[in-house]
Amino acid sequence: DIKRDFEGKKVLVTAGPTREPLDPVRYLTNHSSGKMGYEIAKALVERGAEVILVSGPTYIEAPKNVTFIPVEMAMEMYNAVMMHLEEVDIVIGSAAVSDYRPKEIQKEKIKKDDQELTIQLVKNPDIMYEVGKRKQNRISVGFAAETTNLIEYATKKLKEKNMDLIVANDVSQEGAGFGVDTNIIKIIDKNQNIKEYPLMSKSQAAHVILDEIAKLF
Ligand code: C5P
């Protein structure tokens, strides 16, 4: 029996990687599968929320009964989030947003020529930072995937991005990396309370994360 504790809540979830084009055939991206964010979206629907899922390119099917907004570039994800921010009660940022994008997108395919090729990159907006800046009463939850100093870095991000909770996972641990169906998470709140959980499925992890969010209502 699933509790409908998110009934009446509108939630925006970002998920997946972003894709930053270099030319008409190439792009920069990362290993994010989107699984964690999609499981969160699914769990939210089960628990009664109205869900907007803003997703970068993934190989998984969009969950049923969500407003699905597919995007590619970080700039597109940023615009989609900003467009819907005012109408939502909660933002959950699980996307692995590319920190940089090529300064110019070449109109024609880049030809191999010299021994070296330099590509200039410029910074993308930090979507969750911008969400935190416009916070009001909205609940903001982020993720921190780290390979070292997990708690320290995650706590720093929680503060800098004005989040209520941050879900930290050590991506160097087996069963917690990219693309797998499991995760090992720690949830940190504003008062630096840290909750540690054992290895579990991403679906179970999604429900555990929602349990902690629901306590903030
Ligand atoms: O600083 P870092 O990228 O590790 O922070 C991760 C958190 O910030 C995640 O919640 C991620 O979705 C969000 N983020 C973002 N926009 C960026 C970079 C990260 O929303 N450009």
Calculate helix-pair angle for 35-46, 202-214, nearest 10 degrees. 60
Residue 30 known to be catalytic: yes
Ligand 1 pocket mutation, candidates 18, 85, 127, criterion most atoms within 8 A of CB: 127
Between the CA of 127 and the centroid of ligand 1 the distance, in Å, is 7
Cα separation, 216 vs 141, in Å, equals 11
Tokens at 200, concatenated: 């579990």
Between the CA of 116 and the centroid of ligand 1 the distance, in Å, is 31
For ligand 1, atom 5, which residue shows the shortest CA distance?
144
Q: Give the residues surrounding ligand 1 with Cβ less than 6 Å away.
A: 14, 74, 93, 95, 97, 99, 124, 126-128, 142-144, 157
| CATH placement of domain 10-104+117-214 | 3.40.50.10300
Beta bridge partners of 46: none
**For the CA of 163, the nearest atom of ligand 1:** 10
Domain locations along the chain: 10-104+117-214
Tokens at 95, concatenated: 């996307």
**For the CA of 142, the nearest atom of ligand 1:** 10
Per-residue pLDDT tens, the chain, 217 aa: give them: 778 999 999 999 999 999 999 999 999 999 999 999 999 999 999 999 999 999 999 999 999 999 999 999 999 999 999 999 999 999 999 999 999 999 999 999 999 989 999 999 999 999 999 999 999 999 999 999 999 999 999 999 999 999 999 999 988 888 887 888 999 999 999 999 999 999 999 999 999 999 999 999 9
Between the CA of 126 and the centroid of ligand 1 the distance, in Å, is 6
ipTM score over 0.85, yes or no: yes
